[in-house]
Amino acid sequence: MKKVLLTIIFLSASYAIYAQNVTAELKAYLRQNGWNVATEQYACLSEGEFASYSKTFYAGTEYTIIAYSEESGVMDIDVFLYDEDGSLLEEDSDNADVATVGYAPYVSREMSVVFMNYDSVNSIKEYNCKLMIAYK
């Protein structure tokens, strides 16, 4: 799935309306593959900054969590999933401009998703970053 997401973002970057294309293409891809978008969160993040979002994840449901920037200046974005005790459950902290993790909880519970602008072209500029959580 990550390869497809990178392709969508790369192809969208060649158009003038970068942000709209990325989000529209990603939503279309998710819908075509049986996913429903549960959450879309935005944050303006400078290099090294992060934002978090709490959500109830339900047992027996498969989730995919995607973080990306709506601007081409973010070179590395990461995403982390924590349980209510603060234990790290999943992470995507590689050096890519798209981060994805999947999770299917056995028990319904509140969890926290953190997404971070780890590296960007201009370290003091705030970039529009997006978190999307989908389920099926």
Q: pLDDT of 24-39, one tens digit each?
A: 888 888 999 999 999 9
- As given in the structure block, the two tokens for residue 69 are 């920037």
pTM of the predicted model as reported, rounded to 2 decimal places? 0.84
| pLDDT bucket at 8, cuts 50 / 70 / 90 | very low
Residue 79 identity (one-letter amino acid): V
- As given in the structure block, the two tokens for residue 71 are 């601007």
Predicted local confidence at residue 10, as pLDDT: 47
Residue in the structure block whose two tokens are 């999947």: 102
Given a cut of 60, whether residue 136 has pLDDT beyond it is: yes
Task: Identify whether the C-beta of residue 38 lies closer than 8 Å to the C-beta of residue 135.
Answer: yes
CA distance between the termini of the chain: 15
Assigned CATH for 36-135: 2.60.120.380
Alpha helix positions (H), the chain: 2-13, 18-32
